[in-house]
Amino acid sequence: MLTLWDLIEPIRRVLAGPKPAMKRRSRVRAVPASGRLRAASSGLTAQDRYDAIVKELLGTHGIRVRKWRTSMSGVAWITTYRDGSAVRCIESPRPKSPMSLAIFLHEVGHHVIGLGAYRPRCLEEYHAWVYAVTEMEKRGVPVTDRVKRRMDRSLRYAVSKASRRGLKSLPPELHRYATP
């Protein structure tokens, strides 16, 4: 039995015209054996370097990206199932610049240092940022002034939030982020 949709679909295809060509994704090149990325003179583009870092860290730490965000924000969490298995997940912007890479590394840092390993929470944020900056320096990615400002603003916010919520004593690492 024919339906109305059977009659309309061929007409819709003709009116829509040919399908646009699909964009091809660039392939990630292999990471050098040392695990570090060489300078731009090695033939890798900045995006190739970022893709290699993402592939390496997600595989090494068993982290799953639930969603690549379009905003410059991120979140990290662990889902634990009844059988005892756990899945480490993050959401972050896809690394395309030093800033988006820093945010990605910050979220990975939460899993590397251990979610909930540091108390108060602002101290965990500090260690996640330290991990991100250290990884960028280790891999030869420039830590720009914008990244440093973002880290500073983020930690100042975390410390002020903890203070508003009744933080009794501020860890020494965070004294420079407390507003007078």
In a domain, 19, yes or no: no
In a domain, 166, yes or no: yes
Q: What is the pLDDT of residue 14?
A: 65
Query: Is the confidence at residue 19, as pLDDT, over 90?
Result: no
- Residue 76 contacts residue 111 (beta carbons within 8 Å): yes
Tens digits of per-residue pLDDT, 22-46?
Answer: 555 555 555 554 444 444 456 889 9
- Asked whether the whole model's pTM tops 0.85, one would answer no
In a domain, 167, yes or no: yes
* The total number of structural domains that make up the chain: 1
In a domain, 7, yes or no: no
Q: What is the pLDDT of residue 86?
A: 96
Domain of residue 115: give its range.
Answer: 43-177
Torsion of CA 61, 25, 39, 134, to 10 degrees: -30
Cα–Cα distance measured from residue 170 to residue 167, given in angstroms and rounded to the nearest whole number: 7
Q: Directed axis angle between helix 145-164 and helix 98-113, to 10°?
A: 50
In a domain, 101, yes or no: yes
In a domain, 124, yes or no: yes
In a domain, 125, yes or no: yes
